[in-house]
Chains A and B, each alone.
Chain A
Amino acid sequence: MDSRGVLQRGERVASPRDEPALSVKDLGFSYSGEPVLESLSFDLRAGEFAVLLGPNGAGKTTLFSLITRLYAYRQGLIRIGGHDLGRHAIQAHARMGVVFQQPTLDLDLTVRQNLTYHAALHGMAPAEARRRARLQLARVEMPERLRQRVRHLSGGQRRRVEIARALLHEPQLLLLDEPTVGLDIASRRALVDHVHRLCRDQGVAVLWATHLIDEVHPGDRVIVLHRGRIRADGSVTEVASRAGAAAIGEAFDRLTGGAER
């Protein structure tokens, strides 16, 4: 485990501005002998919204499990804000916020209790935690819900609380693993727009994993993942034109569905 000395050094020296928020190089991972991810490489910069697009089973969740250190990787390199995840996990994790695929809020606790718990996990003092909880909840436009139990919130509201939670420690990188699962169309639309706005306003780098093509905005970067490999990486128009398709949806079908058959 990393020593605290390393941690203190990391606290004083902020990451250089030109370091990508997330850098993945030659990342590979096998699960009981079967390769799940093969030589993945991409960089993500501050303020960039990247949609990690892939059908179910493409390896999106595995990639997230590696970045969040649920599994350890043996092959390749992951850097967050310039900090090597393998060697300096503490600094790397301090710069990362995650919204998991499954809801992870405590239903019986209030919104504020959920948020201050997360703040404590990042070492924040109680007063600072409460201040940031109010701030982030205002940013997701639900300041009046602070004292409500999570159980009484709708699915879309819970997701927004999770996003506020992930941004509480002001990370450089926000990871979202299929965050719209289980939401109705209107809440889904609102959530996608909302995170785009956060990305623009706060300059946080966003990696948004989904298999739903309609969650892609025209200005987004698209990384198409299929069977553990990156099939395309670029702006919406680039990916479409390179695949010889008129629209991104068609390009996605060609890049993934085509390989299926």
Chain B
Amino acid sequence: MNLASYGHCLRGVVSRELLRFVHQRSRFVAALVRPLVWLFVFAAGFRMALGVAMTEPYQTYVLYEVYIVPGLVGMIQLFNGMQSSLSMVYDREMGSMRVLLVSPFPRWFLLVSKLLAGTLVSIVQVYVFLAIAYLYGVQAPLAGYVLVLPALVVTGFMVGALGMLLSTFVRQLENFAGIMNFVIFPMFFLSSALYPLWRIREGSYLVYQIAALNPFTYAVEMIRFAMYERFHAVASSISLVTALVLLGLAILAYNPARGMMARKGGGGE
């Protein structure tokens, strides 16, 4: 086995994920409708109440719709990451996780391939969303749509690795609702996705502190700055480090000797 065979393995995992995505049209529609409802209904309604004052990286006063688009991009990736963690629990119950894990390739490589596949799916969703937002009138500079790509990769890995890690703790599919309530919602609402941090601080200092500790805040800011052709070094480094730490923990958790799999997972007897 050589480098080329690693490439074949990666391509196989990615194309399976894309094929499955193509076949699950309802999942795609749901993934798009969610942020679009926020954009069309929530943002349009709140724009009167919540005009966002001038804030970095925007050059001028921006409408609320413009402000929340990067946050909604993060939301798409967050949901997608959790969705793949759900599918990993499902795969484990259904056994296809085992098919992946009996591959002779090193386990870290299989898990990274899986994460990359999920990230690519989320990036496809993000660009379709951004295209609709563009037509609606939320338009970033064209270069921003290219520059945002690395930020989307980092965010995809971060939330995907988080989902992967969580999937080792979830014993059954039914417990997944808990992840919705205790992971997705707090991560999204307690971040700078909906309001800038300085505005949150005016409202509640405690919430501000939580949001400032929330890695999702930094992912959203990284995306926001990249979209407007700026590089937010602090946000990007925090996001990258978080992604790597979560990835390391997820790989550890899927290690048969040390991880959670020894205690949980398949095996009816």
Residues of A bordering B, CB below 8 Å? 1-2, 4, 7-8, 11, 32, 36, 56-62, 65, 68-72, 89-94, 96, 98, 100-104, 106, 108-109, 113, 116-126, 129
Contact = CB atoms under 8 A, between A and B. Distances in A.
Interface of B: 1-2, 4-6, 8-9, 11-13, 15-16, 19-20, 23-24, 94-96, 98-108, 110, 256-257, 261-263, 265-269
B106 A123 contact: no
A68 B5 contact: no
Given A7-B1, A72-B256, A106-B96, A58 B269 contact: yes
A57 B102 contact: no
A147 to B, nearest CB: 14
Nearest to B257: A72
A72 B107 CA distance: 13
9 contacts: A69-B102, A69-B256, A98-B102, A108-B23, A117-B12, A120-B9, A121-B13, A121-B100, A126-B11
A90 to B, nearest CB: 5
Contacts of B100: 121
A102 B94 contact: yes
A91 B104 contact: yes
B163 to A, nearest CB: 20
Nearest to A62: B269
Nearest to A113: B19
A151 to B, nearest CB: 10
Contacts of A94: 1, 104
A75 to B, nearest CB: 13
B167 to A, nearest CB: 15
B268 A101 contact: yes
A106 B107 contact: no
B261 to A, nearest CB: 6
